[in-house]
Amino acid sequence: LRRTKSVRAVRQKASAMTKRNVRNDNTSRSPRTVIPRRGGTPRRGNLITQKIKKGETLLKVALITGASGAIGRETALKFINDGYFTVGQFNNGGDRIEAFVSALKNENKSDYFFPFRADLKNAKDCAALAEFTLENFGHTDVFVSVAGTDVYKLCTETTEKEWDDIFSVNTKSAFLLTKSLLPSMIERKKGSLLYVSSIWGVSGACMETAYSASKAALIGFCKAIAKEVAPSGITANCVCPGVIDTP
């Protein structure tokens, strides 16, 4: 990717627009306001790809959920260091995202990171996240589903809402975003899907029935989608971490 003045200028504009999504956690919002708009509905790829000669094939784009968490942040940093324009979803971790952006600025890498606030329990927010990525970059090379939530309770004490919320974040959001991002990957005959499950999705964990079930479902989803998309040159993989020491 050539560093021309026009490319740098459009990066700065895109970065300024997306930074508006890093707001106080108490700020009210709706799916209609999480997408930065300028002069009406943005056209597909309007921020960057239209400014680069020979189109989007030179642009590497990654979408990562749970970017405010320790695993998500390190995942985002890896892609940024590898030259990917990285969209990082977060919800309640605005302060951690701001700290991450500040650290990237110190290393002159903030132009590659685009934080986006979305509640993954909300299907409209998931759609807005995918829409933002596709409209502003034209495609996605890599989708990494890192976001996860849990409750530590006996099965008999777990409420239906807690069960539904855990499945919405851990499993359903991965399905919704995959469904939205796949058409552009299939069109380009390339792309990577990566789902972060858990060892509890394999073995199950006492006091974490909802979490274990949601992560097991994610493993099954990955196995199935891998067979669907392989003929289109797209890979799908699932990792199942054990205990990780995070801040």
Give me the active site residues, please.
211
Distances (CA, A) of 80 to 31, 52, 242: 26, 19, 25
Say if residues 199 and 219 touch (Cβ distance below 8 Å): no
Structure tokens at 33: 């306001």
Give the max Cα distance, the chain: 61
No. of helices (H) and no. of strands (E), the chain: 8, 6
Say if residues 51 and 7 touch (Cβ distance below 8 Å): yes
pLDDT by residue (tens digit) across 89-147? Answer: 999 989 999 999 999 999 999 999 999 999 999 999 999 999 999 999 999 999 999 99
Say if residues 193 and 235 touch (Cβ distance below 8 Å): yes
> pLDDT confidence of 247, banded at 50, 70, 90?
confident
Which pLDDT value is given to residue 166?
A: 97
Secondary structure (3-state) at 153: strand
DSSP string of 195-221, one letter each residue = EE--THHHH--TTBHHHHHHHHHHHHH
Structure tokens at 165: 């919320």
pLDDT by residue (tens digit) across 9-37? Answer: 445 545 554 455 554 444 434 333 333 33
Q: Above 60 in pLDDT, residue 2?
A: no
> pLDDT confidence of 66, banded at 50, 70, 90?
very high
Contacts of 238 (CB under 8 A, 6+ apart): 194, 195, 196, 197, 218, 219, 222, 223
Q: How many CB atoms lie within 10 A of CB 107?
A: 10
Least confident of 55-59, 173-177, 187-191: 55-59
Say if residues 24 and 105 touch (Cβ distance below 8 Å): no
